[in-house]
A and B are shown apart, each in its own frame.
Chain A
Amino acid sequence: EDKVVQSPLSLVVHEGDTVTLNCSYEVTNFRSLLWYKQEKKAPTFLFMLTSSGIEKKSGRLSSILDKKELFSILNITATQTGDSAIYLCAAPNTGNQFYFGTGTSLTVIP
């Protein structure tokens, strides 16, 4: 059964902390791994990862994929209250079927 599992389910940190969010996947004919930030209803795209070991970076956010161990991590450094959101990862296969994780709910306390 194809699936994507995220951990932890929820996380509460203080401003300035660094967090690491995990996403493991078991997807036949895996194509890529996507990270989204969902603040209200519509997830916004963060990263798309297709190759192992190549870190993608955007400001305080970075992500990397390990296709051997079938997981990805999303790091957020120096967290701010505006980082509070649900972070989703998704793994589409080559047939463009999407498998979403249930998300990690991040709360950043001032």
Chain B
Amino acid sequence: GAVVSQHPSRVICKSGTSVKIECRSLDFQATTMFWYRQFPKQSLMLMATSNEGSKATYEQGVEKDKFLINHASLTLSTLTVTSAHPEDSSFYICSAKKGPEAFFGQGTRLTVV
């Protein structure tokens, strides 16, 4: 099977600091990865599509300067929440595309205090 590892699983940070979340495809190469944010009603909101070697494509309403995405290699994409605020507290999930399938990380619970 295909494994996607997301790290850290939970993080608490102070307001105004930046937090980096990593998404790694462990046993396959992923030219495309997706970053989602989960809201209380359990829906997953697509934030951006991360393409290896090029700029990420952000969905409407997602601030690209606040949510920095880097996909520098075929196995790693990172999401950096810059100048985090309490309203950024949420659950962030990545997925990596392998052929027609998408494999999900385990998610990161971010709490900004």
Residues on A lying within 8 angstroms of B by beta carbon are 34, 36, 38, 41-45, 48, 86, 90, 92, 95-100, 102-103, 105
Residues on B lying within 8 angstroms of A by beta carbon are 1-2, 9-10, 34, 36, 41-46, 49, 91, 93, 95, 100-107, 109
Residues A41 and B34 in contact, CB atoms below 8 Å apart: yes
- A42-B46 CB under 8 A given contacts A90-B104, A100-B104: yes
Residues A42 and B106 in contact, CB atoms below 8 Å apart: no
Cα A43 to Cα B37 in complex, Å, equals: 11
Cα A95 to Cα B8 in complex, Å, equals: 13
Note all chain B residues with C-beta closer than 8 A to A36. 44
Note all chain B residues with C-beta closer than 8 A to A38. 102
Residues B109 and A45 in contact, CB atoms below 8 Å apart: no
Which of A48, A92, A100 contacts B103 (CB under 8 A)?
Answer: A100
Cα A98 to Cα B109 in complex, Å, equals: 11
Residues A45 and B42 in contact, CB atoms below 8 Å apart: yes
Note all chain B residues with C-beta closer than 8 A to A102. 1-2, 101, 103
Cα A86 to Cα B100 in complex, Å, equals: 10
Cα A41 to Cα B49 in complex, Å, equals: 9
Shortest C-beta distance, B96 to chain A (Å), equals 11
**Residue on A with the closest CB to B32?**
A41
Note all chain A residues with C-beta closer than 8 A to B107. 92, 96-98
Residues B91 and A103 in contact, CB atoms below 8 Å apart: no
Cα A34 to Cα B104 in complex, Å, equals: 14
Cα A103 to Cα B102 in complex, Å, equals: 8
**Residue on A with the closest CB to B105?**
A98
**Residue on A with the closest CB to B103?**
A102
